[in-house]
Structure 1
Amino acid sequence: MSDTQANAALLVMDMQAGIVDRYAQSSDILERTNIAIATARAASIPVIYVVVGFRPGYPEVSSRNKMFSARRQAASSMVAFSTELPQAIAPQPTDVVITKRRVSAFSGSDLEVVLRAQNISHLVLCGIATSGVVLSTLREAADKDYQLTVLADCCLDSDEEVHRVLLSKVFPRQAEVTQAKDWAATLDVEK
């Protein structure tokens, strides 16, 4: 493992079933993400899943929050928002699952406590959506002085142009943007 990966963690963000199912190309991203997860585990890099979730009745959601208040209103007529992860990328007992209450993985969660406890200083990010959790987490993590890598082929967004611009123009200002296979090649793991 390279020195830059010594204190790394892989963050698999907002890839819970209810979100993944909204995307036609979700089977491809699950397959690529599963390979990244297996690579991280083989390199003894912690895998941390971040899911968005709320208590029954959504007491954490303000009517002033445009994104989540719409979900709260819809929840009154449907099953509660699921934090279940797809079997294809299911956590192992040694993995950590963090529940957040907002878009960024840090906001309304104990992610930073977990990272500090494990002396993590380098975050490898992947998730859905590129313009949501990945962007928000990247910006906040950069402000917190984490070293950052984004696995571009393990990110997905409903707007392909926004996805492209973020990965090619915005994220490289604060992170290394790479493909999962190229990231794996930087690690000293048995294939």
Structure 2
Amino acid sequence: MISATPFDYPYDGNLNASSTALVVIDLQEDFLSTTGYFARQGYDPAPLRQILPVVGNLIEACRRVGIRIVHTRQGYRADMADMTPYEKWRRKQSGLEGTNVLLRDSPGFEIVPDIDVRSEDIVVDKTCNGAFTYTDFEHVLRAQGITHLMFSGCTTDVCVHATLREACDRNFQCLTISDACASGDQYAHEAALHMVTIEYGVWGALTDSAAVLRALAKLPNKAG
């Protein structure tokens, strides 16, 4: 089991690599670069970049024991046919009208090179904050027999938490890894992590990467 709060994960004591996935949320250039969407909103992407080595270590450890890696990417179609009037209005208010920021044909849509994305990984593209909305994410997880999800990525308070909440409501067993998530707003980051601990697991459990790595080191090595 993985030492966590408010209970050790998973709750039933059965940490099974074949039914577990590490979800890596939106570690894209648009959020982590100094010229992308996040920076244009006035946020400092530095806290987001600080988690990259942590996420890299988790990915490596998960691959070694046979845990699947799922990456998500947020962005709209190049023709913006999937963008609602409200989203277009927000885009204009943010000074992004006429740019290719957050569009799938732009360099900013790509996952940063610091993250090792391999052909065997699952990549889910989304337009909404939550990865389950209007995507095949749930179908893919069910098809792979995945019932347990460990969360990392950005931002803690928006896309990570939105996907976490959707996952819990779909009865996936969820673990948020505190130092593998980040936000441009420290208060929002801490509040989002705190919310995981309330009501004895309403949003799963909370831990850090050291606890995950310790537990994974005890599982059989499946890397060939």
Question: What TM-score, normalized by structure 1, do the two folds share?
Answer: 0.89
Relative to structure 2, which stretch is displaced further, 69-78 or 116-125?
A: 69-78
Unaligned runs of 5+ in 1: none
Query: If you compute each CA radius of gyration, which structure gives the higher value, 1 or 2?
Result: 2
Aligned to 1:86: 112
The match for 1:3 is 14
Residue pair 1:123, 1:149 contacting (<8 A) in 2 also: yes
Residue from 181, 186, 189 that aligns with 2:215? 186
- The alignment-based identity, stated in percent, is 27
Whether the aligned pair in 2 keeps the contact of 1:47 and 1:96 (CA below 8 Å) is yes
Residue 178 of structure 2 aligns to a residue whose secondary structure is strand
Cα deviations across residues 71-90 of structure 1 (Å, max 9, x unaligned)? 37755422342320111103
Q: Residues 117 and 135 from structure 1, CA distance in 2 versus in 1: closer, same or farther, beyond 3 angstroms?
A: same
Is the 1:152–1:177 Cα contact (8 Å) retained in structure 2?
A: yes
Aligned mates of 2:24, 2:92 — CA distance in 1: 24
Counterpart position of 2:42: none
In structure 2, what residue type is equivalent to 1:167?
A: L
- For the residue of structure 1 that corresponds to 2:109, the secondary structure is coil
Query: Which residue of 73, 80, 93 corresponds with 1:51?
Result: 73
Structure 1 residue corresponding to 2:90, chosen from 56, 70, 92: 70
* Alignment deviations for residues 99-135 of structure 1 (CA, whole Å, 9 cap, x no partner): 0110001112111111011000001011111111111
2:50 maps to which of 6, 20, 28? 28
Q: For residue 133 of structure 2, give the secondary structure of its aligned residue in structure 1.
A: coil
SS of the residue corresponding to residue 125 of structure 2 reads: strand
Question: What is the deviation of 1:69?
Answer: 4.5
Residue 3 of structure 1 deviates from its aligned partner by 2.4
Change in CA separation of 1:75 and 1:160 when aligned onto 2, cut-off 3 Å:
closer
Say how many residue pairs are matched. Answer: 187
Which has the larger displacement, 118-127 or 24-33? 24-33
In the TM superposition, what is the alpha-carbon distance from 1:17 to its structure 2 partner? 1.2
- The counterpart of 1:126, out of the listed 149, 152, 155, is 152
CA contact (8 A) 1:58 1:72 kept: no
SS in 1 for 2:22: strand
Residue 61 (structure 1) shift? 1.2
Most deviating of 15-24 and 100-109: 15-24
Structure 1 residue 138: Cα displacement: 1.1
| TM-score, with length taken from structure 2 | 0.77
Q: Which amino acid aligns with 1:112?
A: E
Deviations along 1:1-27, whole A, 9 cap, x unmatched? 872233110010111111112411333
